[in-house]
Chains A and B, each alone.
Chain A
Amino acid sequence: MAGQGPDHALAVENLSVAYPLKGRDKSGARRRLLAVDDVSFAIRRGTTLGIVGESGSGKTTAAMAAALDAAALRRARQRVQIIFQDPYSSLNPRLRAAEIVREPMLHAGRTNRAEQDRVIDELFEAVGLRPEQKSLFPHQFSGGQRQRIGIARALSTRPSLIICDEPVSALDVAVQAQILNLLKSLQRQFDLTYLFISHDLGVVQHMCDEVAVMYMGKFMEQAERDSFFAAPRHPYSRALLDAVPTIEAAARPRPPLVDGAIPDLSEPQTGCRFASRCPHAMPRCENEVPLLADATGAAGHHRLACHLADEIGSAASG
């Protein structure tokens, strides 16, 4: 399922993930929850794809499934690493910082101790930690410094793809800027490819070259950064963008979301998952699943899963 084209660090086609549930449905089949439904994406080397969505949208599941699948390819494991959201629980409290960074190299079978030490020294410097901090334990670091250790750990096997799972959500705003700047400079320095998962559209706009908006297991919209932020087309993308509190005073009046029930993903979906909350929904939206297709009139790559694509496309920049 996951492969690598010449220009792509990762290509995922038709990825679905289901969790088994207790009980059986009417036909006697095991019930299951379809957390990720037929998602495809590719990330060009050295670039960043952002997956945005609210809690429960499946964005983390999709990324982790893509990573696992890539890891299933022989020797691929060391090529994909993850930076986690919580710098407190994602570091082993009983290991010294240098050993935390060393671990992935051991798993990858790089047993030359001198070589490991060289990589550790190099990465401590690259992420802005001092050499004497190598022998400290995680609790002796601040949250931002811990996230730096997590980043050094992710880099130690020289991965070609790093999944950043809400890497700054648990940090104070001033520290967030430091970590985001670090991730960007490391990307240039080591030619890294990021799959960047976030609920924060401001962060995604800053970090990503391409954006995918996910809702209830499906990609709703997928586009190059500039095309997306200049003219988001999907009603859900617009609702998300409008909901972000901005320091620019001018509010954009758009129809409010409908307070509808969220679909039950343990049942087969017959229509658009967003229809129950969409201010523009029409009967077709409940009866036919919209497919991701090229948006009309967009500059560059811009795909959209919405039956109303043509109606709202022209007024997109509003």
Chain B
Amino acid sequence: MATPLLEVRDLGVRFTTRDGQVTVLDDVSFTLERGERISFVGESGCGKSMTALALMGLLPAMGQVSGGSINFKGEDLATASEARMRQIRGNEISMIFQEPMTSLNPVFTIGRQIAEVLQLHRGLDRRTARARAIDLLEAVRIPNAAARVDDYPHQLSGGQRQRVMIAIALACEPEVLIADEPTTALDVTVQAEIFALLRDLGAKLETAIILITHDMGAVAQMAERMLVMYAGRRVEEGRVADIIKAPAHPYTRGLIACVPHISTDATRRLERLPEIDGIVPPITSFGRDACLFAPRCGRASEVCHGERPAPAGVAGHKAHSVACWHPHEGGA
């Protein structure tokens, strides 16, 4: 197989705090092919957004990559200079965020903010960039784009603002688009439209998409593969269809079961939702050599508390791996 577009291997990130060094990401590995859609899933603080920020070279000042590599088209981004990352960001790897209002500059028109990216990365002159901005607004299905190009962000609805963010992110036809909870602040009917837009444009431009979310439904709709993360580590990885059908890690299983997914069978009525007991561990425990899910896990044994499980293949599924001492086997 040819080398993947993006190959992250054993990525570690540490924060320097007043109390010393803490591990935030621990040995995270995954690959991404051109045009592929992958999802990072987990609860807040599991490291899914931090992985994305590490890819973008946008770790907070207290954080640094402590190990591993981020191989993007033959170049290691983990050691790339800030000047080089500035060339890559918004051009070859782009990102959209949860809250489109805070990501857009309120004092510039949306047309100018789209054009700026094209002038910076593609060296277009002002007029060409503006014309291209209108094309992009049309591509993200903003009605009457030629008139709306001179609007300011506050004149748009939340869904339209996220469309503008997508237009900015895709302006340079990047190879990777990272979407960090892009629809969390939006209504569900708007979310459906944004997902459809991302799928269509991703396919058209052959842009690989990394969707960061806590919503298994969104994963099922948007991604081909998923990476389940817990406490800074990858606990399960595989094809979305395989994992939803037969999650191998008890945490993945809990994440899928604890949500009241809508069902057309109205007679099906659960009195109680299956719970994952307890809460996520404190960040100070993230680097420990143990399964960090063990305190919340019904299958945990002594080994889970004392040794770190290595990712291992799941029988019967291609490219499905789980880091667990007592994984579930077979179907749900």
Contacts and interface: CB of A to CB of B under 8 A. Distances in A.
B218 interface: yes
Nearest to A185: B272
A239 interface: yes
B44 interface: yes
B219 to A, nearest CB: 8
A205 interface: yes
A181 B272 contact: yes
Given A173-B258, A249-B220, A199 B187 contact: yes
A225 B255 CA distance: 25
Contacts of B255: 173-174
Interface string B261-289: 11110110011111110011000000000
Contact of B273 (A181, A226, A239, A248): A181
A22 interface: no
Q: Chain B CB within 10 Å — which of A144, A178, A185, A242 has the most?
A: A178
B271 A184 contact: yes
Q: Chain A CB within 10 Å — which of B215, B216, B256, B275 has the most?
A: B275
A249 B263 contact: no
A54 B217 CA distance: 18
B229 to A, nearest CB: 13
A248 B259 CA distance: 13
Interface string A174-211: 11111011001100000000000001011101110000
A173 B275 CA distance: 10
B316 interface: no
B220 A246 contact: yes
Interface residues of B, number: 41
A202 B260 contact: yes
Interface in B161-187: 187
A174 B260 contact: no
B149 interface: no
Interface in B218-244: 218, 220-222, 241, 244
B268 to A, nearest CB: 9
A172 B191 CA distance: 19
B195 interface: yes
Interface in B107-132: none
Contacts of A177: 258-260, 273-276
Contacts of A175: 279
Interface string A118-149: 00000000000000000000000010100000
Interface string B176-207: 00000000000111011001000000000000
B279 A142 contact: yes
B143 interface: yes
Contact of B260 (A206, A228, A239, A240): A206
Given A172-B44, A177-B273, A249-B241, 18 more contacts: A54-B187, A173-B214, A173-B255, A174-B43, A174-B255, A176-B258, A177-B276, A184-B272, A199-B188, A202-B262, A205-B266, A206-B260, A225-B266, A243-B189, A244-B217, A245-B195, A245-B218, A246-B261
25 contacts: A54-B189, A55-B187, A172-B44, A173-B214, A173-B259, A174-B275, A177-B275, A181-B272, A181-B275, A184-B272, A185-B272, A199-B187, A205-B262, A225-B266, A229-B263, A245-B191, A245-B192, A245-B215, A245-B217, A246-B217, A247-B256, A247-B261, A249-B220, A257-B189, A259-B141
Ordered nearest first, which 4 A-B pairs have the shortest CB separation? A245-B217, A206-B260, A177-B258, A54-B187
